[in-house]
Amino acid sequence: MLKKIVIGFSVVCLLSSFISKGQNLPAQTFTNPLLPSGADPWVIYKDGFYYYTNTLGNRLALWKTKELSKLSNAETKIVWRPPASGPNSRDIWAPELHFLNGKWYLYYTATSVSQPSDKNRYVFVLENASPNPLEGTWTDKGKINTDYPGLDGSVFEHKGTTYFVYSAYVGPQSRLFIAPMINPWTLSDKQMQIAAPTFNWEKLGGRQILEGPQFLKGRKNNLFIVYSASACWDDHYSLGMLTASANSNLLDSASWTKSPVPVFQQSPLNNIYAPGHNSFFKSPDGKEDWILYHANSAAGQGCGANRAPRAQKFTWNKNGTPNFGEPVKAGAPMPVPASKKSVK
């Protein structure tokens, strides 16, 4: 009898230890949205941490967390506020955090308090030498020298060259332009248009808009720029895609082929409307590809605070193009991005 009691006690202790350790393991699933509100979401994974940001309108803030699924509990810090006047004093939109040449750079869109309009809307950039972007000093490096006013500047590197892409205001339209960078705050004179609105789904909401360009490296020697199409207040706001060979001249518009239909769009069945202004990231183990985007949870909610950040894993088609699937319904459990320590 004593032997049975000892064995039973040992089993209980082992189970208790296992449960206790399990409580310290990261959550295995998460649900969208990641935050109640947050338009134009951007995330970068570096040195074991996700650094996240989104449009706040009157300031720039960064979130830092090891688990993007726990973004609502992440360390958060306001890192910059606009001046009271000047060209970057109002409408602080679409921030992106990049790590270039050993320093952090925050690109953002802004206009002037005294003359707030698209004619005076440009992309600006801040620099920080601290290893942790939530610390150190952010230095204003000024306005990016784009040929046109515009918004939604983004940066990517390919074959030793750093490129800048943005949405330029040209006449009544927003078109996509690309340029090589001399340094993280200066473009070369070779600023070339690579896409303009041509399809009906790029002209909804009373505007002809291509915005929020994001670079994505393919798996079969190809490159993609995924962009948001139409006005953000239209429920059919969606993602379009440009494709180019990795060996082509990226400054030549002929190198880029536009997909004839959206590659990611609303899902009334899942109560997801106006999905767009995305970014891409890898899972911590480097094996999974994820898309981060904002969307509304009901029709007719427009461009306001109802836009919330959402993330989901995507796959690849046999021809090497990304397959983003359908926007996942809010509250539907999904596996968290795979960790380096995950056991499968």
Residues 6+ apart with CB under 8 A from 285: 338, 339, 340, 342
Q: How confident is the model at residue 15, as a pLDDT?
A: 38
Tell me the DSSP string of 49-80.
Answer: EEEEEEE-BS-EEEEEES-GGGGGGSEEEEEE
Instruction: Give the residue numbers annotated as catalytic, written as ranges.
Output: 40, 211
Mean pLDDT for 101-106 is: 98
With bands split at pLDDT 50, 70 and 90, how would you rate the model's confidence at 14?
Answer: very low
Query: pLDDT tens digits, residue range 107-161?
Result: 999 999 999 999 999 999 999 999 999 999 999 999 999 999 999 999 999 999 9
163 vs 24, more confident: 163
25 vs 314, more confident: 314
Contact (Cβ atoms closer than 8 angstroms) between residue 145 and residue 177: no
Q: How confident is the model at residue 5, as a pLDDT?
A: 41
Instruction: Say whether pLDDT at 101 is over 50.
Output: yes
Coil, strand or helix at 301: coil
User: Rounded distance, CA 319 to CA 308, Å?
Assistant: 32
Mean pLDDT for 154-183 is: 97
pTM, two decimal places: 0.90
Residues 6+ apart with CB under 8 A from 218: 224, 243, 246, 316, 320, 321, 322
Q: How confident is the model at residue 172, as a pLDDT?
A: 85
Element (H, E) at 22: helix 2-22
Q: How confident is the model at residue 27, as a pLDDT?
A: 58
Contact (Cβ atoms closer than 8 angstroms) between residue 121 and residue 151: yes
Nearest to 215 by CA among 267, 149, 161, 150: 161
Instruction: Say whether pLDDT at 12 is over 70.
Output: no
Phi, psi of 22 (to 5 degrees): -65, -30
Query: pLDDT tens digits, residue range 276-304?
Result: 999 999 999 999 999 999 999 999 999 99
Instruction: Say whether pLDDT at 318 is over 80.
Output: yes
Residue % of the chain over a pLDDT of 90: 89
Contact (Cβ atoms closer than 8 angstroms) between residue 146 and residue 122: yes
Q: What is the mean pLDDT of the chain?
A: 92
Instruction: Say whether pLDDT at 11 is over 50.
Output: no
Bridge partners of 193?
177
Query: pLDDT tens digits, residue range 202-246?
Result: 999 999 999 999 999 998 999 999 999 999 999 999 999 999 999
Q: How confident is the model at residue 16, as a pLDDT?
A: 43
With bands split at pLDDT 50, 70 and 90, how would you rate the model's confidence at 32?
Answer: very high
Phi, psi of 162 (to 5 degrees): -95, 130
CATH code linked to domain 28-335: 2.115.10.20
User: Rounded distance, CA 305 to CA 294, Å?
Assistant: 11
Mean pLDDT for 62-89 is: 97
